[in-house]
Amino acid sequence: MARNITIGIIPPYEAMAQLIEDLKDAFPTVELLIEAGNLEAGVLAAERMEREGADLIISRGGTAQMIRNAIDLPVIEIRISGYDLLRAITLMGAPRQANSALAGFPSVTMGAGSIAGLLDMDIKVATIQKAEEIGQVLEELKKEGISRVLGDVVTVEAAERLGMEGLLIQSGRESVMEAIEEARRLISTMEKSGRKQRILSTVLARQKIDFITLGEDGRTVEAQWTLFDGQPISNEELETMRIKLLSSEIPVLSTAHNGKVRFTVRAERIADRDGTLIYFFFERLDAQEAEALQLEQINHLPLLAADSAAMKNLLLAAEAPACASSLLLLVGKDGLAKQELARYLHVFHGKTGFFAEASAQNLQDIEISSLPDSISTLFIELTAIPDEKKTAYLTVIAQLAAAKNIQLIISIPALTTELAEHTGFEQAILLSVPTLVNRQADIPALVQTYLEGFHQTLGTQPVKVENAALETIVHSVKDSNSASLKAYVKNLALIEKTYVIGSPTLQKTAFMPIGDSAHGMISIDDNETLKEIEQKIINHVLKEEKLNQTKAAHRLGINRATLWRKLKS
C-alpha cells in the first residue's frame, strides 16, 4: 500500500497560507505542513520541516531559491501564472496606469508586457536580474515618476521603504494546486527511482561486488564494500588510475596488496547523461590463486616476428575471428614462441581484461568459478603431456572458463588422441607453432625485439647487433628455440657495454641451448668466484623459467628488485 506523502509549503505572505489551508481537502493522501515565512524566515521554517520528515518543500520566488540553497530536500517553486498577472494588472485599473510599473525577476515579468498590451494598458515593465539590483531599479522608477509598483513580496517591501505604493502579485488557487500536483509527481518518480536503487544495492551486496564510483571532478559518487572493510587502496592510487583511464580508450587494470590479501582493480569509464563516471571494481584473489596466477594488462599489441612463411601462415589462421573466443591449443616444442603468440592474440582480438598465466604445476590451485571477472584470457603452459589427474583438472577448467567467458589458450608440446578424447579438446582450434628451424627468417627480428626489451627493462647498453655477429647468432640458434635465443641475447646484452654487439662479444659467451627438459645440471668451475657462481645459478633459473623474472625471483627466494640488481651487477 502506498504511503501518504508529506509536503511542506512555505508561502512568503499570510494570505497565501490561508488559501492553502482551504485546499487541504482536495489532497486527502497528502499531509500539508504550512507555515508562512519570507526569505530567511522561510529558510528556518524549511529546515524545521526537513527535520520533521517532509518529503519535499514548496515555496515561491526568492524564498524558494534561498530554501533550495539551504536544505537537501527537493524544492518546487509556485510559478506566477498568466492568470495571476492578469488579475494583478487588472486590479491596477486604467486611471492609474501612467504612474504604475510592474517590477520583478524574469519569472515575474515574463509575459507581463504582452498581457498589458492585450488589455490595452500602458504599464511599464522593469526586469530585475539580481537581488542586489532591486533598490537601484526602484529608485530609477521613482525618478521617472512611478509611484505604484506591482511585484512579488521582496519588490513590494522594497518599494514601500522608498515611499512608493506596493501591490503584491498573489498566486491564485490554480497556481498552488499545480505546484502541489508537480510535487506529487516528483515524489512518485523519486520513490520509484529509490526503489530501483534499493533493489540494485541489494543485488550488488548479495553478489559481493565491491566498487567505488567517481565523478569527473574526482569526488566519490557511490561506493559499496562487502568483502573489504573499506577502500583498499589510497586516494592517490585511485587518482593515478583515474588520470591514466582518462587518456586511454580501454579499461585500466591493476593488481594490489593491502597487507592482508591480493586483489585486482579494474577501472572503467562510463558516459552518463550528466557527464562521465569512473567505476573502480575490486575483486579479491584466493591466496592459492594469487600464487598460481600471473596477471598482466597488455596495453599495446606485442611485436611478433613474422617474416617467415611458417609464421605468416600461422597468423593468417590465428587472426581469424573464430580464434577470438574459442579454446585454442598451441602445439609445438617452442614454449616461449607459444607464449608470445598468446599475448599477441589477446590484444589483437580486442581483449581488455587481464592476461592470466599459469603453469602445469599450479592447475590444482586454479578455481575458475572464483576468478576475477576482469580476466579475459587464461594461458596455461604444459611442458609435457599431462597425466590423468592434470587432464581432469584441464577438463573442468576448460568448461568453467567457457561459462565465465574467459578464453582458454593452452600451450602443449603435442596433442595425443587420448588427451583430446578425455578433455574434449577435439573441439578446440589447433594451431601448430613452428620452431626456429622453420623460422630462420624471423631470427633477426627476434634478436632486435629481445634486445630492445632488455634495454627497457634492465637498462642494458646495446641497441643493435652488427651484421656479421647477427649471421653468427642465426647460425648458432637455428636448431634451438626462442627461449634459448632470448637467454643468449640477454647474456650478450649484459656483457656488452657499448651500443652495438659485435663478433668479439660473441666470443666471450657461448650459446647454450635450453633443452626440452625444464631442469638440468649446473657445472661449476673450481676457479669461479662466489659472485660468478651466484650469477650462473640466477641465469640457470631464469632459463628454466623462460626468462620470467617473477617466477625466477620466487624460486630463488628473493624479490624482483633484488633480482634486477643482481642481474645489473
Q: Does residue 439 lie in a domain region?
A: no
The answer, yes or no, to whether residue 132 has pLDDT greater than 90, is no
Q: Does residue 441 lie in a domain region?
A: no
In this structure, the answer to whether residues 89 and 70 fall within a common structural domain is: no
**What's the length of the chain?**
569
In this structure, the answer to whether residues 278 and 298 fall within a common structural domain is: no
In this structure, the answer to whether residues 69 and 88 fall within a common structural domain is: no
Q: Which of 177-181, 213-217, 394-398, 561-565 has the lowest mean pLDDT?
A: 561-565
The answer, yes or no, to whether residue 536 has pLDDT greater than 80, is no
Give me the percent of the chain exceeding a pLDDT of 90. 31
The answer, yes or no, to whether residue 228 has pLDDT greater than 70, is yes
Residue-wise pLDDT tens digits, 449-491: 999 989 888 889 999 999 999 999 998 888 888 888 998 999 8
Structural domain range at position 118: 82-170
pLDDT-derived band at 522 (thresholds 50, 70, 90) equals: low
In this structure, the answer to whether residues 382 and 315 fall within a common structural domain is: yes
In this structure, the answer to whether residues 278 and 329 fall within a common structural domain is: no
Whichever domain contains 249, its CATH number is 3.30.450.20
Look at residues 413, 434, 455 and tell me which one is the last residue of a structural domain: 434
Number of domains in the chain: 5
- Separation CA 542–CA 342 (nearest Å): 20
Whichever domain contains 93, its CATH number is 3.40.50.10660
pTM of this structure = 0.57
Mean pLDDT of 139-155: 89
> Which pLDDT belongs to residue 290?
65
Q: Does residue 509 lie in a domain region?
A: no
Q: Which of 17-26, 127-136, 271-280, 420-429 has the lowest mean pLDDT?
A: 420-429
Q: Which of 53-57, 179-183, 386-390, 432-436 has the lowest mean pLDDT?
A: 386-390
Q: Does residue 564 lie in a domain region?
A: yes
Q: If 0-12 CB within 10 Å is exposed, 13-18 middle and 19+ buried, where does residue 61 land?
A: buried
> Which pLDDT belongs to residue 569?
66
**Alpha-carbon radius of gyration of the chain:** 38
In this structure, the answer to whether residues 70 and 107 fall within a common structural domain is: no
The answer, yes or no, to whether residue 330 has pLDDT greater than 70, is yes
Count other C-beta atoms under 10 Å from residue 119's C-beta.
15
Look at residues 261, 284, 307 and tell me which one is the last residue of a structural domain: 284
> Which pLDDT belongs to residue 52?
92
- Separation CA 84–CA 150 (nearest Å): 12
Q: Take residue 377 and report the three cell numbers written for it.
A: 584470457
> Which pLDDT belongs to residue 324?
93
> Which pLDDT belongs to residue 369?
61
Residue-wise pLDDT tens digits, 264-286: 898 988 887 777 889 999 988 77
In this structure, the answer to whether residues 248 and 166 fall within a common structural domain is: no
The answer, yes or no, to whether residue 263 has pLDDT greater than 70, is yes
Most confident of 79-93, 390-404, 461-475: 461-475
- Separation CA 98–CA 146 (nearest Å): 8
Q: Does residue 181 lie in a domain region?
A: no
Look at residues 284, 305, 330 and tell me which one is the last residue of a structural domain: 284
Q: Does residue 376 lie in a domain region?
A: yes
Mean pLDDT of 308-320: 94
Are the C-beta atoms of 334 and 482 separated by less than 8 Å?
A: yes
The answer, yes or no, to whether residue 432 has pLDDT greater than 80, is yes
Whichever domain contains 24, its CATH number is 3.40.50.2300
Q: Does residue 187 lie in a domain region?
A: no
In this structure, the answer to whether residues 235 and 339 fall within a common structural domain is: no
> Which pLDDT belongs to residue 517?
40
Mean pLDDT of 171-181: 91
User: CA end-to-end span of the chain, whole Å?
Assistant: 77
pLDDT-derived band at 534 (thresholds 50, 70, 90) equals: confident
In this structure, the answer to whether residues 222 and 150 fall within a common structural domain is: no
The answer, yes or no, to whether residue 523 has pLDDT greater than 60, is no
> Which pLDDT belongs to residue 95?
52
In this structure, the answer to whether residues 140 and 243 fall within a common structural domain is: no
Whichever domain contains 324, its CATH number is 3.40.50.300
- Which whole-number Å values give the CA distances from 555 to 173, 245, 267, 322, 549, in the listed order? 83, 35, 32, 38, 10
In this structure, the answer to whether residues 296 and 427 fall within a common structural domain is: yes
In this structure, the answer to whether residues 300 and 368 fall within a common structural domain is: yes
**What is the 8-class DSSP label of residue 95?**
G
Angle in degrees, CA 20, 25, 26, rounded to 5: 80
Q: Does residue 472 lie in a domain region?
A: no
